[in-house]
Amino acid sequence: MATFQKKRERGILDGQFLIAMPGMFDTDFARTVIFVCAHSSDGAMGFVLNRPQQLTFPEVLLHLEIVDQDQAIRLPEKAKDFQIQTGGPVETGRGFVLHSDDYLSDSSIPLNDDLCLTATLDIVRAISRGKGPQKAMMMLGYASWGAGQLENEIANNGWLTSPASEELIFDRALGDKYDRALALMGVAPAMLSPIAGHA
């Protein structure tokens, strides 16, 4: 798995979308859109953008003992409604906040000119107070690939790649995000073949 560092090798898939092809039968990734946060010769890491999570943000705050029951009831509306998603099948109990760069802490990792990732409680506390970044969502778990694994999956017709859209990343409507990610590329799902072709 690629590890995060402030200054790290950036791969060609950094900041790209991975869009699952119809032949993707792995239930963790079928019809998913993934934002690649880190890609290098060591592997890749990203977050699924269109899988809901049953937990609510107030439940997470209670579990982490950041608030008690009374405080959970009085959370700002923005915090009560803060979006949590399933980021992938790896370390599903671990939380990450993908967010705009208007909030930074010592532990925030810049992903590109506009997006950061923070995986510490300071951002969770800020959001619980109605502060924090303008655009953000919490991911529980992540997706990862070992060295060369993602490149092989792409070569074997597992994924389409395209530049990421910040608007789509933070769009709260998850049900049709897959189709909309394809539409950004000018592709309709019916145009895709599950059979790999090689010249």
The CATH number of whichever domain residue 27 belongs to comes to 3.40.1740.10
Separation of alpha carbons 29 and 26, rounded Å: 6
Residue 7 lies in a domain: no
Q: What is the pTM (predicted TM-score) of this model?
A: 0.88
Q: What is the pLDDT of residue 195?
A: 55
Q: What is the pLDDT of residue 173?
A: 94
Q: What is the pLDDT of residue 166?
A: 94
Separation of alpha carbons 67 and 116, rounded Å: 25
Separation of alpha carbons 191 and 27, rounded Å: 21
Residue 139 lies in a domain: yes
How many domains does one find in the chain? 1
- pLDDT surpassing 80 at residue 6: no
Name the pLDDT band for 144 (thresholds 50, 70, 90). very high
Name the pLDDT band for 38 (thresholds 50, 70, 90). very high
Q: What is the pLDDT of residue 5?
A: 45
Q: State the chain's mean pLDDT as an integer.
A: 89
Phi-psi map region of 148: left, alpha, beta (phi>0 left; psi -120 to 50 alpha): left
- pLDDT surpassing 70 at residue 72: yes
- pLDDT surpassing 70 at residue 18: yes
Residue 194 lies in a domain: no
- pLDDT surpassing 80 at residue 188: no
Residue 171 lies in a domain: yes
Residue 196 lies in a domain: no
- pLDDT surpassing 70 at residue 52: yes
Residue 198 lies in a domain: no
Residue 6 lies in a domain: no
Residue-wise pLDDT tens digits, 168-178: 999 999 999 99
- pLDDT surpassing 60 at residue 113: yes
Phi then psi dihedrals of residue 50, to 5 deg: -135, 35
Residue 151 lies in a domain: yes
Separation of alpha carbons 87 and 96, rounded Å: 9
Percent of the chain with pLDDT over 90: 67
Look at 120 and 9; give whichever has higher pLDDT: 120
- pLDDT surpassing 50 at residue 2: no
- pLDDT surpassing 60 at residue 3: no
**DSSP code at position 81:** T
Q: What is the pLDDT of residue 84?
A: 95
Domain with 81, as residue range(s), is 16-187
